[in-house]
């Protein structure tokens, strides 16, 4: 009988799976972890951006008060004469002031008779306390709540204007560089015309179109002002891409011009566009705050720029108000700038070989 041949079993050799074989969520987490470890400043910027987004989305839960609610407090009676009543009206309850408000229109406009009838006074320019973490403004509104809700307008204008500028500017830049000739000359001369006007002058010109510009109009106006810069950058990227081999191959097989621009050119210039989009958000947030500071912002929206202007008017009486609002604006813009600078290092092939901490 033939001897049965034994099966030689070799110890199993595990073949490590590459990152490309793993699910998309796992790949995204791995890339995010590498980004946070190799680009610490960029990671700080990403954390700041996430905190601002969460603060804006969950504003009703994070803020302690309604941003437009006037805070009041109960006060004892004080002021036995008319002069004492006027002097102490902002700090205590004076029945005499009620009689004065009924007969004197100036007193009635200055002090709220309804509040004094309840024995309450408005907490104007209150210092930070357990009731109001950052104090109150000159109207008596909670400063913490207004900073929280102000992040909504900042993100709306910043992201909205950046999207408008990047989408329209990229389209014009790709069309201009791809077709060249007369198309390129006309579009670039229009771009030069935009560059000839200072951005603030253009914004002031746009603000005259409507009587009361709102936040949506300001978003569109800021986006239009930024189109020219994006057009130039997109055009430069396409000029170095349109003669690549894969573009010539697409033309050879009969691909249409829109297909070549959308499927072959646009994906290969996305890296600089992503960086432009990220960094320009901070620029537009500052621009919106500047417009609100000079009185051209949305008159009913809660804006950080408007709050800084109110703090400026108070001067030495409320230095912390300007500090708190200015810090929120500065940290938010700095977060977008840090994240955009780190993305530039990651997406730029010329900087990939300089080590994990390029740019620091």
pLDDT tens digits, one per residue of 296-346: 888 889 999 999 998 888 777 678 888 999 999 999 999 999 998 888 888
User: 7 versus 227: which is more confidently predicted?
Assistant: 227
Which residue, chain included where needed, has tokens 């905190």?
51
Topology of domain 143-354 in CATH is MetI-like fold (1.10.3720)
Report H helices in the chain: 24-38, 40-57, 59-62, 82-87, 95-103, 105-110, 113-117, 143-179, 181-196, 199-207, 215-225, 227-239, 245-252, 257-260, 270-293, 304-314, 319-347
Q: Residue 129 CA to chain centroid, in angstroms? A: 29
Using a pLDDT cut of 70, give the percent of the chain over it.
76
Which of 180, 218, 185, 184 has its CA nearest to residue 202? 218
Report H helices in 73-225: 82-87, 95-103, 105-110, 113-117, 143-179, 181-196, 199-207, 215-225
User: 147 versus 124: which is more confidently predicted?
Assistant: 147
Which residue, chain included where needed, has tokens 């708190």?
324
Predicted confidence at residue 112, as pLDDT, reads 53
Predicted confidence at residue 357, as pLDDT, reads 42
pLDDT digits (tens, 9 = 90+) for 108-138: 555 554 545 455 666 777 778 888 888 888 8
Residue 208 has pLDDT above 80, yes or no: no
Residue 150 has pLDDT above 80, yes or no: yes
Q: What is the arithmetic mean of pLDDT over 185-213? A: 84
Tokens encoding 296: 């051209």
Q: CATH 1.10.3720.10 occupies which residues in the chain?
A: 143-354
């Amino acid at each position: 009988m033939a001897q049965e041949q034994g099966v030689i079993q070799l110890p199993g050799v595990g073949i490590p799976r590459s990152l490309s074989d793993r699910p998309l969520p796992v790949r995204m987490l791995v890339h995010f972890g590498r980004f946070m470890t190799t680009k610490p400043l960029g990671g700080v910027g990403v954390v700041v951006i996430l905190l601002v987004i969460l603060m804006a989305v969950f504003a009703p839960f994070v803020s302690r008060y309604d941003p437009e609610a006037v805070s009041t407090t109960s006060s004892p009676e004080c002021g036995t004469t008319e002069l004492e009543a006027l002097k102490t009206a902002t700090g205590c309850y004076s029945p005499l002031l009620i009689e004065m408000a009924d007969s004197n229109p100036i007193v009635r406009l200055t002090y709220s008779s309804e509040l004094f009838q309840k024995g309450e006074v408005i907490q104007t320019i209150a210092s930070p306390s357990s009731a109001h973490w950052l104090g109150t403004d000159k109207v008596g509104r909670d400063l913490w709540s207004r900073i929280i809700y102000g992040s909504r307008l900042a993100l709306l204008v910043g992201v909205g204007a950046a999207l408008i500028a990047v989408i329209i500017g990229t389209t014009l830049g790709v069309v201009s560089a791809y077709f060249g000739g007369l198309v390129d000359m006309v579009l670039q001369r229009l771009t030069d015309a935009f560059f000839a006007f200072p951005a603030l002058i253009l914004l002031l010109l746009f603000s005259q179109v409507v009587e009361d510009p709102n936040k949506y109009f300001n978003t569109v106006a800021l986006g239009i002002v930024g189109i020219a810069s994006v057009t130039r950058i997109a055009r430069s990227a396409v000029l170095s891409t349109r003669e690549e081999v894969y573009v010539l191959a697409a033309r050879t097989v009969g691909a249409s011009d829109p297909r070549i621009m959308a499927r072959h050119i646009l994906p290969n210039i996305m890296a600089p566009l992503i960086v432009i989009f990220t960094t320009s958000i901070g620029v537009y947030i500052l621009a919106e705050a500047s417009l609100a500071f000079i009185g051209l912002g949305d008159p009913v929206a809660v804006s950080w720029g408007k709050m800084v202007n109110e703090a400026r008017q108070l001067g030495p009486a409320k230095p912390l108000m300007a500090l708190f609002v200015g810090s929120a604006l500065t940290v938010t813009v700095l977060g977008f700038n840090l994240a955009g600078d780190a993305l530039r290092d990651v997406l730029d092939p010329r900087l990939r070989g300089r080590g994990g901490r390029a740019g620091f």
